[in-house]
Structure 1
Amino acid sequence: MLKTYCAFLLGSLVLICLQSYTAGHNAKAPEECCFKFYNKPIPIKSISGYEETRFECPKAGVVFITKKGLRICVDPNFKWVKRAIDQIDLRILEESDTD
């Protein structure tokens, strides 16, 4: 009886470990979170696009992608960031209308 109980307990433990390992590898974890923000305005002509950080990140952030490929974290609450996002969205909308 004790051997059966130990085998059951060990089997359950192995299954739990495998499940958490699999869930951890398949989870949609944040690919990039911002922990520090660049504070100075970035010229809009230097920005090719942006991504918002995922909701799982400890701080909300926006990652501006420059034409040179740099990724710069900025605070989405700054006025200049909001204006830049609006201008980028407008640029993308205008580009899609011409296609």
Structure 2
Amino acid sequence: FASLFYVNTAEGLFDCCYTYTRKPLPRKQIKGYVMQNSYEVCDIDAVILITKKFKVCANPKDKWVMKIIKAKSKGPKSPGKHVKPTSDSSGN
């Protein structure tokens, strides 16, 4: 698996990836993800995949990672996030 290190800055402690996993993870194991951007605190762009037991660093350009991001972005919406219409269909 890939390395995930803590980086201490004036703003606080951050998780940073320095290498990527070479082994794709099964989509069903992934509970969520966090994007890491090289223009922020950490040195490389990465996707931190979050499973029930651990976090894994992945290359955001890998096809299997892109598929996971797309699937998780489409995921089921939680109740209460629906937009209410401003008027009903009867014109009232």
> What TM-score, normalized to structure 2?
0.66
Counterpart CA distance in 2 for 1:50 and 1:69 is 13
Does the residue aligned with 1:72 lie in a helix, a strand or coil? strand
Q: C-alpha displacement at 1:40, in angstroms?
A: 1.4
Q: Please identify which structure carries the higher helix content.
A: 1
Point out 4+ residue stretches in structure 1 off by more than 2 angstroms.
Answer: none
Unmatched tracts of structure 1, length 5 or more: 1-23
Unmatched tracts of structure 2, length 5 or more: 1-8, 81-92
Q: Please identify which structure carries the higher strand content.
A: 2
Number of aligned residues: 70
Q: RMSD over aligned Cα, in angstroms?
A: 1.8
> What TM-score, normalized to structure 1?
0.62
Percentage of identical aligned residues: 30
Q: Name the structure 1 match of 2:65.
A: 81
Q: C-alpha displacement at 1:95, in angstroms?
A: 3.0
Counterpart CA distance in 2 for 1:61 and 1:28 is 19
The structure having more radius of gyration, on CA atoms, is: 1
